Amino acid sequence: MDRISALRNVEDALRAFEDGDADLAATERRVESVLRTFATEFETSERRAYRAVGDAAAGTVVVASSPAEARERVAALVAADVDAAALSVEPLD
């Protein structure tokens, strides 16, 4: 899913909420689903999505150009006391 498709899908979800055709919980699930689909399909020639595995940062997803950069981004997002070199990341497929 490209960015434009993702934005259109989020807009559709918001429109349904505004029109009363969906409640907040359903809208949240729909938007989360769009974002997860976008993230799992995100890949350019320079960057891709990585997910942290294990320990405190498990499940954190970032976009980076390399595993080393992904570890640094995860460490910056999770906590200042997390050592980026100690983190494990894997490509989000």
Alpha carbon of 72 to those of 6, 40, 54, 56, 59: distances in Å?
27, 20, 15, 14, 15
Please give the pLDDT value at position 80.
62
**Residues pairing with 53 in the sheet:** 88
pLDDT at residue 79 tops 80 = no
pTM comes to 0.71
- Sign of the dihedral defined by the CA atoms of residues 7, 1, 41, 21, in that order: positive
Q: pLDDT tens digit string along 32-43?
A: 999 988 888 877
Please give the pLDDT value at position 57.
82
